[in-house]
Structure 1
Amino acid sequence: MGEDAVLEARRRLGRIGVGLMTPLAPGDEWRRAARRVEDAGYGSVWVNEAIGGREVFTQLGVMLAATERIVLGSAIANLWARHPAAMQGAASVLADAYPGRFALGVGVSMGAIVEQSGQTWSSPLTRMREYLDGMDAAVPAAPAPEVPFPRLLAALGPKMQGLARDHADGMLPAMMPVEHTRRARELLGPDRLLVALRPVILETDPEKARSVARQVGAFSMPGSPYIAALKRLGFSEAEIAGGGSDAVVDACFSWGDEAAIAKGVQAQLDAGADHVCVTVFQPDLASTADQFERLAPHLLNG
C-alpha cells in the first residue's frame, strides 16, 4: 500500500478497462477473450468470484499467462473465500510473476451469499478491517513484488470508503450513479485510486435496455448494499423496488448506441474516477469480446 502503487496503477491502467463476469467457461475461451480485449487496446480486465467455483486468482493467472501487456484485476476477490494470509500470498505471487500487471480488489460480498456457503455473516466493516490487518501481518512471509500492486476495496458506503482511504490504495464501487463517484472522490482525496465498474447495454430501445438492467437483480437481494447506497443518494425505496425505476436504471447503467455509452463512461471519469471498468451482459465470452471490440473505438479514442 502506498503512493507508488497508486501512481504506477494509474499509469498502467489508463482510462478504460473491461469486466469479464461470465460464469463457468473452458480455459481456452478465457484466454481468447483476454487476448481479444488486449488487442482492442483496453488497459485492464477485471474478474469476479463468489465462494467456490471459478476461483479468482487461478483465473487471473490463466489470463496473465495468455497476455502480454494488459493489467488483470480481481473485482472482487471475496474475503469470505480464503484466509487473509492466503489472499496476501496469492496476490503477491501474481504481482511478482507479472510485474505491474496485477491489481487486487477485495470485497465482503453479501450476507445471503455468505450464509449459503455455510459461514456466518457478520459486520462487513469490522470483518474488512480485521481482514486487512491479517493481510498486512502476512506481508513478511509473502513474495515481495518488484512493482507494488494496488489494494482496492469494494466500498459503497462512507464508512467502508473511509477504510479504503486509510487502509488501502483506493476503492472500486460497482453500478453506482455519477453522483456516487463524485462523493467518493471527495472522500478519498486525490491520492487514492478510484476504479468505477460501469455496466453498459448496447441497446437503443429504452424498454428493452431497461429490461436487461432490471434482470441483474442487485437491487432486489435482501440486505443488498446497493439499495443502501442508492438511498443515501436520495432515491426512495419505491424507486428502487422491482429492479429500479427508470431514473434508477438510467443512473446506474449506461445504455444506447456507442456514442451514448461513451458519454456515460466519460461522465464517470469527469466525476473523479481514475479508471472505468466497463461490463456488458452477454451469454458467453465470445459475444462479450465482440461487444468490447465494437465499443473500443468509441471508448478508447475519446
Structure 2
Amino acid sequence: MTAVDEARKRLGRIGVGLMTPIAPADEWRRAARRIEDAGYGSVWINEAIGGREVFTQLGVMLAATRRIVFGSSIANLWARHPAAMQGAASVLADAYPGRFVLGVGVSAGSIVERSGQEWTSPLKRMREYLDGMDAGRDAVVTPEVPFPRLLAALGPKMQDVAKEKADGALPASMPVEHTRRARERLGPDKLLVVLQGAILETDPEKARGLARTTLGLSAPESPYARSLRVLGYEDTALVDGGSDDVVDACFAWGDEAAIGGRLQEHLDAGADHVCAVAFAPDLASSADVYERLAPSLL
C-alpha cells in the first residue's frame, strides 16, 4: 500500500486544526484527547520559526493519544536543514505507524527575514529542499508505514511541484473552486488535504470581522491574494481584509449545519480530507468548538 493509500484509509473525511501559538504541554495533551474522543480523523498544527517546534509538539500529542493521525500544517522549511526535516519525520512515522503526515511549506518572506535569513524564490527553494530531504533518506530509519509528504501549495506552479516531488498538496483558506482546480491539476493519485477556516458564529458582521483579521490579504507577498486573483477576484475585492464575497468564499461561518455543508463541498470538489480550523482563544475553547461541531461534521 502506498503512503497516499494508507493516509486516505487512516485520515477519514474530517480533521481539525489547533493553531494556538503557545500553551503548556498538558493543555495540548488534553485537547488532543478530547478531539480524538470526539471521533475526528486528524489534528494539524503549524509553526513559524522559533517558539513552538512542530515535531516536538506532535510527539507530545502522539504519545498522549491512541489512534488519531497528526499532521504538520506546516513544518517550515526555513526552520531546519532538509536532512533534519527528513530525520524528524522518519522518527515520528517509525514510532507511530500510520499516524503522521508531513506538510512542508515555504512560509512568508517577512517571517523568514525576521529570523535573519534571506528570502529567495519559493519554487526554487522548495525544489532544492525536497531534493535535500531525499538525499538524507539513507541516514535515517525507514518507517514500516511510509508517511506522506504534502506541500502547502496554493498556486498552480507549487501544485506542479507537489505533483512531481511530493505525495500531494495541503492548501488553506481557499474557496471550493480552488479545491476543484487543485484536484484537476494534481490528478487522482495524489493526496489533497484542505484546511478550511471555521467560525461558529451566525452574526454576519461578527463572523466576517473575525475572518478579516486572519487571512492576511494586505501583506505585499500574500499568497492568498495571488491565488484569489487566479480564481478571478479583482483587486478591489481584496482590500481591507476582503469583500463579503471573498470572506464568504474563504471561510465557513454560521451554525453547525452551515460549517458542515461547506466542508462537504470541499469533499465533493475532490478533497480527500478536510481540516476544520476553528477560531478560539485557547486550546480548551478550541476543543469545545470541535466537540460541538462533531455531530454535524462526522
Once the two structures are TM-superposed, the CA of residue 28 in structure 1 deviates from its matched residue by: 0.1
Moved more, 214-223 or 234-243: 214-223
**Structure 2 equivalent of residue 184 of structure 1:** 182
**Structure 2 equivalent of residue 47 of structure 1:** 45
Q: Which of the residues 223, 226, 230 maps onto 2:224?
A: 226
Distance of 1:218 and 1:89 partners within structure 2: 32
Once the two structures are TM-superposed, the CA of residue 192 in structure 1 deviates from its matched residue by: 0.2
Distance of 2:48 and 2:15 partners within structure 1: 21
1:145 lines up with 2:166 in the alignment: no
* Identity, % of aligned positions: 75
**Structure 2 equivalent of residue 81 of structure 1:** 79
The 8 Å contact of residues 88 and 139 in structure 1, kept in 2 or not, is answered as yes
The amino acid that maps onto 2:218 is S
Distance of 2:216 and 2:19 partners within structure 1: 14
The 8 Å contact of residues 94 and 142 in structure 2, kept in 1 or not, is answered as yes
**Structure 2 equivalent of residue 207 of structure 1:** 205
Q: Which of the residues 114, 117, 120 maps onto 1:116?
A: 114
TM-score (norm 2): 0.99
Distance of 1:40 and 1:201 partners within structure 2: 19
Once the two structures are TM-superposed, the CA of residue 217 in structure 1 deviates from its matched residue by: 4.2
How many correspondences in the alignment? Answer: 298
Question: What per-residue deviation string (whole Å, max 9, x for no partner) do you get for residues 73-101 of structure 1?
Answer: 00000000000000000000000000000
The amino acid that maps onto 1:254 is A
Distance of 1:166 and 1:23 partners within structure 2: 32
Let me know the Cα RMSD of the aligned residues: 0.6
Distance of 2:216 and 2:72 partners within structure 1: 19
The 8 Å contact of residues 50 and 78 in structure 1, kept in 2 or not, is answered as yes
The 8 Å contact of residues 112 and 222 in structure 1, kept in 2 or not, is answered as no
The 8 Å contact of residues 151 and 168 in structure 1, kept in 2 or not, is answered as yes
**Structure 2 equivalent of residue 32 of structure 1:** 30
Q: Which of the residues 69, 72, 76 maps onto 2:70?
A: 72
Distance of 1:217 and 1:75 partners within structure 2: 15
Distance of 1:44 and 1:263 partners within structure 2: 19
1:156 lines up with 2:154 in the alignment: yes
Question: What per-residue deviation string (whole Å, max 9, x for no partner) do you get for residues 159-185 of structure 1?
Answer: 100010110000000000000000000
What SS does structure 2 have at the residue aligned with 1:276?
Answer: strand
Q: Which of the residues 152, 168, 171 maps onto 1:170?
A: 168
The 8 Å contact of residues 215 and 224 in structure 2, kept in 1 or not, is answered as no
Distance of 1:153 and 1:101 partners within structure 2: 18
What SS does structure 2 have at the residue aligned with 1:173?
Answer: coil
**Structure 1 equivalent of residue 55 of structure 2:** 57
Distance of 1:217 and 1:108 partners within structure 2: 17
Stretches of structure 1 that go unaligned for 5 or more consecutive residues are none
**Structure 1 equivalent of residue 285 of structure 2:** 287
Distance of 1:219 and 1:150 partners within structure 2: 30
Moved more, 31-40 or 219-228: 219-228
Once the two structures are TM-superposed, the CA of residue 222 in structure 1 deviates from its matched residue by: 1.9
What SS does structure 2 have at the residue aligned with 1:241?
Answer: coil
The list of structure 1 runs, each at least 4 consecutive aligned residues, that deviate by more than 2 angstroms after superposition, is none
Once the two structures are TM-superposed, the CA of residue 58 in structure 1 deviates from its matched residue by: 0.1
The correspondence of residues 98-137 of structure 1 with structure 2, limited to 5 A, is: 98-137=96-135
The 8 Å contact of residues 183 and 271 in structure 2, kept in 1 or not, is answered as yes
Distance of 1:85 and 1:20 partners within structure 2: 26
TM-score (norm 1): 0.98
The correspondence of residues 257-272 of structure 1 with structure 2, limited to 5 A, is: 257-272=255-270
Stretches of structure 2 that go unaligned for 5 or more consecutive residues are none
Question: What per-residue deviation string (whole Å, max 9, x for no partner) do you get for residues 218-275 of structure 1?
Answer: 2122201111000000001110111000000000000000001100110000000000
Question: What per-residue deviation string (whole Å, max 9, x for no partner) do you get for residues 163-212 of structure 1?
Answer: 10110000000000000000000000000000000001011111111001
Distance of 1:218 and 1:44 partners within structure 2: 25
Once the two structures are TM-superposed, the CA of residue 104 in structure 1 deviates from its matched residue by: 0.1
